[in-house]
Structure formats: structure tokens, C-alpha cells
Amino acid sequence: MGQNEAHHLQVIYQRLTRDIDRLTTQLADLAQSARSMKQQLNSEGHLDLGTFSDQLETFASIEANNRQIDTLNARHDTAVTRLKHAKLLLPQAYFAKLSLDFGDDDLEELYLGKVGYTDENTRDLVYDWRSPVADAYYANRTGATTYRANGRDIPVTIKQRQQFVIDHDHLLQVVDTDAAIGDPLLLEVLASNRSGGLQEITATIQQEQNAIIRESRHPIVIVDGVAGSGKTSVLLQRVAYQLYRHRDSWTPADILILTPNTAFSRYIRGVLPALGEAEPLSTTYLNLIQSWGQRFGLTISTTADNHLAELADRLQQPYTQTPAGLSQRAYDQSNDRVPLVNRMQTAWRWLNAVNLAPEDLTDWLDWDQFGRDLGITPLTTYDQLYLLLNFTAYQQTVTQALFVDEAQDYGPDAWLFIATLFQKTAITIVGDHRQRLSGQATTISDFFDPDQTAQLRLTTSYRATGQITRFFAQFAGDWQDEISAVQEEGIAPEIGSTSALSRVLAKQSLSATQSLGIITPTAEIAAELATQYPAAQFLKEQAFHTVRPGLNIMPLALAKGLEFDFAVVTHWQSAFYTDPQHGHNRRYVAASRGTKGLTLLN
């Protein structure tokens, strides 16, 4: 381990500790200055507007005070941000170093961390992992390469890439690498104990993951990734990257993450703050629909029994009959050959132009009669919201970037709605088409402009042993020959009898931090097993759970997205898992939950 690197860490660590002390004091002083200024302004609170000269003097004094307040606020905000970054870097100042030659034979050494940090002369001490030059590190090679900055390619030669394991001011490990990030450090991170929540992966981002995180040529990014490929981690790292890339115009309030349930929102909480960013808003699809329904005066309790696909088709066809409740004059602003959606948009613009637009949009049309005339009944409030968005050509401006996880579970209606509401929004979609457990699969790309869409894949599974990965890959259909593993071989999956569950559990020796998941076909079977093992955690629908050490029991539907050190799948040969339409998907999901051991019970 190089003495130079150990010394460099000491220098940076001492700088951070000094800055933390100094900035803490500075913020206290600024707070006192603000209080003093407030008292002074209160004492000078009267406005002298007697003569024109008095007015000029008063306004000049107000302007001077405003400039003073602005300066104080700017100094405060700068100090707060710098203090936050210093505290964030203190446990691990950086995780890697790049030695670069930009063609002048003068070697430059760049240290990469979770956030950037400079000295008082704005000299970079630590480069943000999201900076353009850091892309050269994640490219996973040495030698001549390029990275893109400010719209142009910068040629550079990578002389050396190093990774570090750091604990505050202690340099624990240095790895010189000219291959994939990690191989030793990646495996070490993967082998570390799971906390129950998702962790950031900045130091071990792989090349195929980096390509997704930094994709900026297309506003729509659709990612299909195998089980254990780090899809959710990549999605959150991309959120952080987008906030960095648009840091002059976006804030976390401009970001929306759609999650499958509220438990999942809890699972990912903390990742972005660990990267120096505030938590963006996250919500479920149903909550999103209900929120937008309220804005249009609609109460939506469910998305079931909707007709969005039929309506989308009818909107593009001519409709000669005036919609029930709409004035004939408004509808006659365009001719009969124009598609329904365009005629309604023209009618809506005309109504607004002549001040005849309804105050309550729900009263605009006779929805029951309109549905009967269309031959689509009944029109649900979800249907009405979709129609209103189209008829008014509504464009939301609140969300700049939308991120959707577990995309395979969304039906055609959801993609129609998302594509309509978020037409001007950057959208990142991640999922695994093999993890849909029921219903008809959807080709997500069909709902977006192909010229605006990047479709990317993640085919490396980082989670499970080689034996387990190859086992679940056989159920992956078109994924089968592409899935690869990075973990050690491990032991082959074992097959036994469901009646032997007690013996299987008895011989399974778990450490205090290891978890075992029993995965059943249905919630009823899981509930029955939970009565036999009262010490186990029973995962129920609509309840918040994270994986905990020891025994966890749940139906397959709730096991998606979770991982265990050891997994036991019951009823492996039942009709549930041999179903001709969904059986392979269910086996693929169930068999990919264990990372070290897998037992299948017949």
C-alpha cells in the first residue's frame, strides 16, 4: 500500500475536518449577523417619504439593505452546501483515482468521490463521480480513450486506474486495475451484509450500468434488466446524475419516481441523500392518478375496468356526431374528416377564446351519454381523466423527469396515460419483462416515439452465485443465453419435498445477520406456514416490510424485488409454477431470490 496515497488521504481528511469546524463557526456567525441586521432594520423601520430628496434617500437605503441581505443569503447557502459535502466525504473522501495524460506528457491525477470538493482557490481536490471526466473511469479500460464534455469529445490517455477502500483517515486497501471495476472490490461489496434498504453503488458502477446512468441522447430511456442486475440502483444513480447534469435548472422537486408500493419507497429512501441529493417525490401509480383526478374534479378509486386502449383508438378516428353536452357551434370549428381528438382540442380552444369554457371540466360533456354513443360503457372516472387530458391538450409542467421502476407490472392503460401526461418530460423506465407474474405482457416501447427512445439491456446478474444464476436463467426464455454471473460458483440448488420443510430449516445454519426466505405460491399458504413458525416475519399485502435476519415467509407476489441469503421455494411442481403462460416467469422470479443457497420443495 503506497505511502504517498496514505499521506494524500491524511491531507484531504485533515482539510475536511478543518473545513467542517470553520464552516460550522461561519454559519453561526452568519446567523448572528442576520439577527443583528434584522434588529437594525426594525429600528430604522419608518419610511421618510416627505420630500422627493427624502424619497430618493429612503429608496437608496432600502436597495442597499436588500443587497446586504442578498449577500448574506448567498454566503449562507454556499457555506451550507460546502459543509454538507464535507460531512458527506468525511467517512470516505474518495473511492478511486485516475492518472490521465491529455497529450502534453504532464500526468494529471484525479480523485473521484460522491460529490466534488475544491480548496479555497477552487482547485479540485475531489471530482464528482458524475463529472464528464469520470466517465473515463467507468469505461473500464486503460490506454487511449475519449470522454464527452460541453458537446465535444476530449481525447485522453488513461495511464492508471486505482480503487480505494477508505474508512475516514485510514487507507485500508488499494487496487490497481485495468479491467472491470472490481473484480475484488465489487465482490467484497456484494458480499457485505444487507441492511434491509438499498445502498448506493457509486464505487462499483459497471460499464453497462454506466451507459444507462449517463444516457443523454434520448429523452426516453427504457431498460430491460435480468434479475439481480442492479436495475433499481442504476435508476437511482441516474436520478442523481440527471440532477447534476441539470443542476442549474432542476431541483429534486422536479423529479418524480413511480414505485410499485409505499414499502418500496421506504426501501429506496436514503440512497440519494447518501449521494448528496435531497429525496425527490415518490408515489405509486394509483396515487398519481388520484392526484391528477382531483385537479380535474374527479374522484378515482381504482384503475380497474378501464377502457383507455379502446379510447386511444377512437380518439384517432373521425367522429361526426357532436359529443353529448358539447355545443354544435364549438364542434363545427373543424370538419368531419378530422380525428376526434383534434376536433375536441379545436373546440376547447374556441370555447376559451369566446369565454365559454366550463368552470368545472366534469360538466363539460354528458359523460354517460357520450360513452353510450361511443359504444364504450360505462366511462369510468379514470377514462374521463384520460379523455380530458387529450381533449384539452393538457401539458403538465411540474415534473421535468419521471422515473418508473418495476415497469413490467404496468398495463397498456398506464403507458397510455403516462405517454399522454408526460409528453414533454424525460422518462426513464426500468423493469424485467420476465418478471411479470400474471396478465398480458406489454411492449413498452410501442407507446413512445422510436426516434426519441433508447432501449438498453442489463444482462449481468451480480446478486446470486453462478450455480443459482444458471439455474434461474433456464426459465428466462430469450434471456437464457445472455445472462452471466460475477459471483463464485457456490452450491447447486437442492430439491426436496414440501413435507420436509422442517428438516430443511433445521439443517440450515444462519448467522446472526443472514436471512432465509420461504416463498409460497399464495398468501393463504404463506399465512398457514406463518402459524407453524411464529418467530418468522410474515410479509403481508399492503404492509411495510424489509428483509430481516432469520426467517421470512411471503407469497411470490411480495418476494419480487427482495433478496435473501437463502431461499426456499415451496410447491415447485404445482400448477402455479407449471402454468403454460406464466409458469416460467414465476419460476424465474422465485429461483432468483436466493443469493447463496436455493432449495426447491415439491
- Are 516 and 552 contacting, i.e. CB atoms less than 8 angstroms apart? yes
Summarize the annotated binding site as residue ranges.
225-232
- Are 538 and 553 contacting, i.e. CB atoms less than 8 angstroms apart? yes
- CA nearest neighbour of 126 among 99, 93, 98, 148: 93
- Are 494 and 250 contacting, i.e. CB atoms less than 8 angstroms apart? no
- Are 243 and 253 contacting, i.e. CB atoms less than 8 angstroms apart? no
E strands, 208-267, where?
220-225, 255-258
Phi, psi of 338 (to 5 degrees): -80, 140
* Alpha carbon of residue 230 to chain centroid: 11
Sign of CA pseudo-dihedral 520, 523, 529, 530: positive
- Are 208 and 459 contacting, i.e. CB atoms less than 8 angstroms apart? yes
Phi, psi of 226 (to 5 degrees): -70, 165
Using a 10 angstrom Cβ sphere, with 0-12 exposed, 13-18 middle and 19 or more buried, the burial of residue 34 is: middle
Q: Which residue carries 467517512 as its cell?
A: 91
Task: Give the separation between CA 118 and CA 127, rounded to whole angstroms.
Answer: 9
Task: Give the separation between CA 460 and CA 398, rounded to whole angstroms.
Answer: 36
Under DSSP, the state recorded for 115 is S
* Alpha carbon of residue 204 to chain centroid: 18
Single-letter amino acid code for the residue at 15: R
Summarize the annotated binding site for ATP as residue ranges.
225-232
Task: Give the separation between CA 387 and CA 381, rounded to whole angstroms.
Answer: 10
Take residue 98 and report the three cell numbers written for it: 485516475
Q: What SS3 class is residue 582? A: coil
Task: Give the separation between CA 5 and CA 11, rounded to whole angstroms.
Answer: 10
Task: Provide the Cα torsion 376, 379, 380, 381; round to 10°.
Answer: 140
Task: Give the separation between CA 155 and CA 541, rounded to whole angstroms.
Answer: 53
Take residue 113 and report the three cell numbers written for it: 468521490
Distances (CA, A) of 188 to 164, 191, 385, 563: 12, 5, 50, 17
Task: Give the separation between CA 208 and CA 379, rounded to whole angstroms.
Answer: 44
SS3 labels along 397-447 = CCCCEEEECCHHHCCHHHHHHHHHHCCCCEEEEEECHHHCCCCCCCCHHHH
Task: Give the separation between CA 259 and CA 282, rounded to whole angstroms.
Answer: 7
